[in-house]
Structure 1
Amino acid sequence: MVISIIGQDIIVPGIDPAVAEASLSKQTFLQMLGVTIGGELKIPTLLSLGLGPYMMGLIIWQAVSALDFDWVNRLTVSQTGYIQKTITLILAILQAIQLMIFIKPALVPLVIMNHTLSMDVSQLGIVLILVAGAMLTVFLGNINTEKGFGGISVLILPGVLIGLPRALQAGWQDLNYPLTIPHLITAGVVTVIVIIILVMLLQIELRIPLQRPLIEGTGSKSYLPFKLLVAGAMPFMFSSTLFLIPNELIESNGMLRSSGFSDFVHTITDQQTVWGIINYGVIIMLLTYIFGFITVQPLRLSKQMKENGEYILNVFPGTATTEYLVKWFLIMATWGGLCLVVIAIIPLIIGLKWHGIANYTVYIGSVAILVTIIQGMWEQINALYSKYSYRVFN
């Protein structure tokens, strides 16, 4: 984490930092995405991309795996690792090029040994540095997965913690919420309440009893857990960014900006309108279903149960089991998604009257990410404690 923090303070050469910061500050969705991926997108640095390429690549690969293709199931662990790293590299190149385009007005000629490099060489150098930084972040995360706590996602922790005051003060960029003493006390109370609610929601699960006819004794009975928050904090992580992207695309296209369609997009991507609040809730629900399906993978789960000789009482294996698992997945995902929607839109509704309160939606999203990461680390510590405390004979 120390290396990650230092790397996010090393500014990429060949740019004017002030101009680059001014250019990127206009991209609201990038600032929100930076908190989500643990990157520094206010100004281009060595580790600006953070875990963005890795997280996007992992989501893509999990989506492919969830479809249960035979060729995917036949891959070895080593082959799967190479494919994921290749996807990460491709996405890192694409995201580096995108970031370089945003900061193009900030480019300055590089001089090496009294020789001025062309702008094309400078642009290529910036892209290579950003890609190298992204792959270095993945390397650090893999090392922590093997030797440390929290896996690769722990590298998001510093960026989220550092970004909490900014998320509260200027979450939606156009709504300022001054950090006065009364406001900080209110934020503290809200934080404690949200943490308690999220921890409780993360503990709720449906346990579907399983039968194992081929195993005798107590091992013949177990259960299949379905979490209420099937997607964890993932819907919160990407909802704000996805909410703002359509408006950013409209603003970047002159023809669309002058059309009537732009008014519709502005309305449904404005957090200070009723339609915008409804749209934000719909996005959270959609992300809950998508990320939940990728996480649970009911199709693959049904197949694995059949291969392992596990059955649900009074449910036939095969298609019937798949339908049964999909039904309960949809039920849990719907209730869990509605819980997240309520938590997210309450500040937006209050913000219709007191505008700064809407920033709490972005702030709560950051808190949800923190709770999920820290809870994962805590479960890992407990598992290791139990492992080293286990004795076969007393």
Structure 2
Amino acid sequence: MKFLRKHLLLTRVLWTLALLTIFLIGQSIIIPGIDPAVAKAALKQQTYLQMMGVTIGSQLQVPTLFSLGLGPYMIGLIVWQAIIALDLDWVNRLTVNQTGYIQKVISLSLAFLQGIQMLGYLSPALVPVVFMNMTIPTEWVQFGVLMILIAGTMITIFMGNLNAEKGLGGISILILPGVLLGMPRMLQAGWQTLNYKLTVPHLITAGIVSLVVIVILVMLLQIELRIPLQRPLMEGSGSASYLPFKLLLAGAMPFMFSSTLFLVPRGLLASNAALRSNWFAQFIQSITNQTTVAGIINYGVIILLLTYGFGFITVQPLRLSKQMKENNEYILDVFPGHETTSYLMRCFWLMATLGGLCLAVIALIPLLLGLKWPGIANYTIYIGSLAILITLIQGMWEQIRALYSKEHYRVFD
């Protein structure tokens, strides 16, 4: 124990490996009362669910203990961050404990809603459960499946928070196994209708594309706009600093949700025959079809809009301007108050637009090539998974470097 306390980096690695092992075991425990074969066939038809599963660490091929993964937590966190970005007074007055309770309630509510949605897809897969020579009614089986899904989600969130405290990579590390295991599937059948066989030439092509995309994304993640900042209350070199606005303000978040958001309207129409019989439904189907020019343009617009949305939540320029005023900080040649807010918003729109266009170009190139060579379009989904993987690894690597520097820091040689 003394050895582990001395070697903090090793201790955190062991904690992360232990929690990932438990998470993977939980994702292999099939929920009782479900026919796995029927459930797999039913869930496979929901393309947007499969894509969402890869991006948020869920296991939506077969219902298991940890099927919902971090989905409710991540969506709830986005909702809460959006509320915080509005800079409301009642939100600013909340304590840390109150904020934690609110986030847990939001996650629990979303887990309940997602569980209900899963039950709707799994209704044909429900089978009678016999306990002590008694057949449990279907309604009770449904309730039991729902409770298991919700409980699994809350356990996953607990493990993620535990990893944030004691391990590496924070709560998002639990997404890593799903992304790694799902990448081959995304490349092979990303859009379900465009199968891309993993032959040797295709794998070599995927390797080259992966290398090029990794280099491009790593470079884009390093680009930032540095706004000169003055801190009068600090002395020395600390009084003159800068405020960084990254080019990719939202990181990989637009990639994470673009495919799902793109396909959700199509999935809703497919589940309701009455909605498919009018001109508006045909229009929706045309702009959510990745094999049409209209669909490709719409996909690019979605990435750009998600960049604006997630970028605003991440940077929170309105809240940032208020904090600068409270801390007596100011930008060179810009008056505090309203002018600072306007200046930060202009910087935000500039960087968000440029970053969103960069992501859109990366995503749309495979779709455009797919118009001539079917199957190439799957690279859009694959690159999205790769972008998520890069941001996860980058965050974990920065934490490892910080811990390594801390362990080897010496005041005197």
Q: Same fold (TM over 0.5)?
A: yes
Tell me which residue corresponds to 1:208. 227
Among 94, 119, 135, the residue aligned to 1:75: 94
1:288-324: CA deviations, max 9, x gaps? 0000000000010011111111110111111111110
**1:283 alignment partner, SS class:** helix
Query: How far, CA to CA, are the matches of 1:259 and 1:330 in structure 2?
Result: 37
| 1:388 shift after superposition | 3.5
Question: For residues 133 and 125 of structure 1, what CA distance do their matches in structure 2 show?
Answer: 12
Partner of 1:19: 38
**Counterpart residue type for residue 155 of structure 1:** L
Which residue of the other structure, out of 11, 18, 22, is the alignment partner of 1:3? 22
Q: Does 1:243 align with 2:253?
A: no
* Counterpart residue number, 2:194: 175
After TM superposition, the structure 1 = structure 2 runs for residues 174-323 of structure 1, keeping only pairs within 5 Å, are 174-323=193-342
1:334 pairs with 2:359 = no
Using the TM superposition, give the Cα deviation of residue 385 of structure 1 relative to its aligned residue in structure 2, in angstroms. 2.6
Is 1:107 the counterpart of 2:126? The answer is yes
Distance in 2 (alpha carbons) for counterparts of 1:153 and 1:352: 35
Task: Find the residue that maps to 2:154 and give its secondary structure.
Answer: helix
Unaligned ranges ≥5, structure 2: 1-19
Task: Name 1:45's counterpart in structure 2.
Answer: 64
What secondary structure does 1:10 align onto?
coil
Task: Could you tell me which runs of 5 or more consecutive residues in structure 1 were left unpaired when the two chains were aligned.
Answer: none
Separation in structure 1 between the aligned mates of residue 231 and residue 408 of structure 2, nearest angstrom? 29
Q: 1:157 aligned to 2:166?
A: no
Instruction: Using the TM superposition, give the Cα deviation of residue 380 of structure 1 relative to its aligned residue in structure 2, in angstroms.
Output: 1.1
Residue number in structure 1 paired with 2:376: 357
The 3-state SS of whatever aligns with 2:34 is: coil
| Stretches of 4+ aligned residues off by more than 6 angstroms | none
SS in 2 for 1:103: helix
Give per-residue Cα distances to partners, 1:18-69, cap 9 Å, x unaligned: 1111111111100000001111101111000010000000000000000001
Aligned residue identity for 1:296: V
Aligned-partner SS, 1:213: coil
Give the counterpart letter for 2:145 in structure 1: I
Q: Quote the Cα distance in structure 1 between the aligned partners of 2:36 and 2:210.
A: 34
Does structure 1 residue 84 correspond to structure 2 residue 103? yes
Residue 347 of structure 1 is matched in structure 2 by 366
Q: Number of aligned pairs? A: 394
Letter in 1 for 2:90: W
For residue 377 of structure 1, the aligned residue among 393, 396, 402 is 396
By how many angstroms is 1:393 displaced? 5.3
In 1, Cα distance between the equivalents of 2:338 and 2:396? Answer: 37
CA RMSD of aligned residues (A): 0.9
Structure-2-length-normalised TM-score: 0.94
Q: Quick one: percent identity of the two aligned structures?
A: 71
TM superposition shift of 1:217: 1.0
One-letter code aligned to 1:213: P
1:391 positional shift: 4.4
- TM-score (norm: length of structure 1): 0.99
